Structure formats: C-alpha cells, structure tokens
Amino acid sequence: MARLLLEHLTKHFRGPSSETVRALEDLNLAIEPGELVVLAGPSGCGKTTTLRLIAGLEQPTGGSICINGTQVNDLPPAKRDVAMVFQHFALYPNMTAYENIAFGLRLRKCPRGELDQRVREAAEILDLTTCLDRKPAALSGGQRQRVALGRALVRRPAIFLLDEPLSNLDLPMRSRMRAELARLHRRLNATMLYVTHDQTEAMTLGTRVVVLRDGVLQQAASPLTLYRQPANLFVAGFVGSPGMNLFRGNVVQRNGALFFDVTGSFSQPDAAKNSESGTPPAPTETGPFSLQIASGVAEPSTTPVGRELLLGIRPQDIHEAGAAPELPLANRVEGLVELVESAGAETFLQVRRAEALFTARVRAGAQPSLNSKVLLAFDTRSAHFFDLKTGVRIEA
C-alpha cells in the first residue's frame, strides 16, 4: 500500500497550430493507502493524462507527484513502483497467458521459483489456473482482461493504475468484471486509481470519486455525497441516470413558506416527436407552475428570494400523484407525456408543462400514451438550488 499525493499537477500540450492545450490544470489530490479512487468525467477531461503522469509516461508542466512522501517527478517509470493496466489489453499474441503474466518479472530477472509462485498465485486469485497455457486468441475478452490484471498483480506494486480496463467488454462481462475488481481490491487492500467515463463503474467501485471537466477538478467525494450533494451543475448532471432535471425560475415567499415559480427548463431540448405518427405532439394548455420548497432545503436568510435561480430535482423524486399522497397538494403538476421509456423495473416519462421539459421515474406498470396528460407530484425534500451564473450549488 502507498499514499499518493498530487500537488498543483498541471499538463499542457502544444496544439497543431502551436496553441496551448490545457489537458490538466492545478490538480490537488491525496489518495490514502488502500483507497480505490475513481477518476471520472467525459472524454478529454484529463483522466488518462493524470495516470500517464503518475506512471512517468508523460512529464508534467508543473506540480509534483509524491509516492509515500518521495517526489517521483524525475524518476523513470521502472523506478516508480506503479503498475498500469491499459484500456486495450496489450497482450503479446505469441505468448501464453502464463508468459504474458510473467513477462514483467522476467525483465526484472526474478528468480524462477519465485516467478512461478507469483504467477500461479495471481492466476488463482483471478480464476485463470485452467487458462495459463492458452494464447490470447484462445481466451475470452474477460479472460484477456484478467491476464492483463495478472501481469500488474504479480509486480506487487505500491499503486495500481487502471485506465478504463472494462470499456472493451460487453455489458454482462463488464458487470462481472466490475464485481471481480471490487473483490480483488478488498482482498489485496491495495491503493488503486481507476479511470472511467462510465458513471455506473465510478459509483459502484470507488471509495471516492474524483470528477474532472476540461482538466479541472470539479468535486472529490464519496459516491453518495456526489449524488446527494453535487458541488455544481456539471456534477449534478454527470452523476445519475437519467440526469437531474433543472428548472429556471424565482424563489418567492408566500404565507411564511418558500415557493419556486418555474419559468422553464434550464436547457430546453427540441420537442420530442411522436414516434408513432411522426408529427409534433399536441400543445399543452397548462401554464407555468410553482413548487413548494420543503423545509431545510432553502431558508429565506440564505436563499436569494426574488433572484432567478436554478432548481434541480432528480427523476426519482417526481412520482405519480396517486403514489405519493403525503406530498403537498401544491406540488401536484399536470403535464403532457412526450416520451415513454420502459426500463424493465421502472418507467421514465418525459413530460412537458408549458416551457418546462422534465423526466419522471414512475412504476414499471405505468404506460401512459403519448400526448396524454399525467398528474405528477414533486418531492422537493431532496431538491437543490444552483446559482444561474456560476453553476455552484447554494447551501441551505
């Protein structure tokens, strides 16, 4: 196990027209011994660049990389005591699984007896004992990935770096390998830094998740904290599927309570087309609506009353009215169904009310027809307010 400390880590590249491309900007991050930290974010946000800097495959423009208190910026990759698993398995096709796993140890002139012991221990951990004499062409995708992991595992490094190792697998295999990685981390109690753009992997694997955008850290927290307390609009939209509904509007005070007068969606997509007829949906006759804000979500002393803000509500907090009788009558909203998505155990409705388009999660059996009206109840107890200009979440 090792402690990894990144201080003001920065990486700039020179673009094709000699412009400066900022791949990573002033990243500060401490990873404690035994942690599995996930770097998440869209393509091009700096995730892989971070791993390559730690591994020594790239040199930073600025900042420092420390492993167990020792700065390793000037050390070659072979002396950093890290092992990296790449997105593509990078196995030697002419070597057996055994030879691929043992390759790094052979280069380090590991004694034959110890080499064999380490390879077979890794094979047992990764359930590869019956595959060691096969070449990569005779292995399944999951087995090839485990061989790549085994090659890193036998090194017994201080830090494991995993760069989207499951992205080339099909969905069922990815789910199985995700569970295997979680078990492997618990068994080894190793320090791991895992890169993915898949939020499901990030939320299920990481003890902490670090969200990056355009090379800048947005938030580093436990998966549950990211979900319940997103630092800004980007994190709120990135974490959760479907993403958080965002409404523009104003906070007003009526009869001692706070209400949010909705004026529209924050990002207004084009109206969904009727998939059956190919014609636009019939316009809804209902107008703008207001939502009563639950106690504790906002207070008059901390929430800018009268100023235009953004209100975020997740789809699972919007219910069929009949299924949530405990919610205030003021939060019952009628809208027009523009899209129905059945996901097996649940159904997602895309609903329009005047200028607002939002997604609601309802019971699996609910299958309203397109262009029909539906009555929904909004639960604002888990709602969030965001500043319209900065995108930062406003604390209650």
Q: Which CATH number fits domain 268-394: 3.40.50.300, 2.40.50.140, 1.25.40.10, 3.20.20.150?
A: 2.40.50.140
Mean pLDDT value of segment 258-281: 59
CATH of domain 4-237: 3.40.50.300
Mean pLDDT for 257-267 is 88
Positive or negative CA dihedral for 337, 339, 342, 347? negative
DSSP state at residue 360? E
Beta-carbon-side half-sphere exposure of residue 170 (alpha carbons within 13 Å): 3
Please say if the pLDDT value at position 272 is more than 50. no
pLDDT, residue 300, reads 63
Question: pLDDT, tens digit, for every residue of 327-370?
Answer: 989 999 999 999 999 887 889 999 999 889 999 999 887 778 88
Q: CA 164, CA 26: separation in Å to the nearest integer?
A: 23
pLDDT for 46 beyond 90: yes
Answer whether residue 302 shows pLDDT above 80: no
Annotate 131-153 with DSSP letters as a single string: TTT--GGGS-HHHHHHHHHHHHH
Q: pLDDT above 70 covers what percent of the chain?
A: 94
Residue-wise pLDDT tens digits, 51-88: 999 999 999 999 999 999 999 999 999 899 999 988 78
**The tokens of 30 are what?**
């401490």
Q: Using CA atoms, how far apart are residues 153 and 259, in angstroms rounded to an integer? A: 56
* Domain layout of the chain by residue ranges: 4-237, 268-394
Residue 278 predicted with pLDDT over 70: no
pLDDT for 281 beyond 60: no
pLDDT for residue 4:
97
Residue 286, pLDDT score = 58
pLDDT tens digits along 191-202: 999 999 888 889
Q: Is the pLDDT of residue 111 over 50?
A: yes
Is the pLDDT reported for residue 103 higher than 70? yes
Using the predicted structure, report yes or no on whether residue 267 has a pLDDT greater than 90. Answer: no
pLDDT at 276 over 50: no
291, pLDDT greater than 70: yes
pLDDT above 90 coverage of the chain, percent:
57
Is the pLDDT assigned to residue 325 strictly greater than 80?
Answer: yes
Max CA distance (Å), the chain = 81
pLDDT attached to residue 268: 33
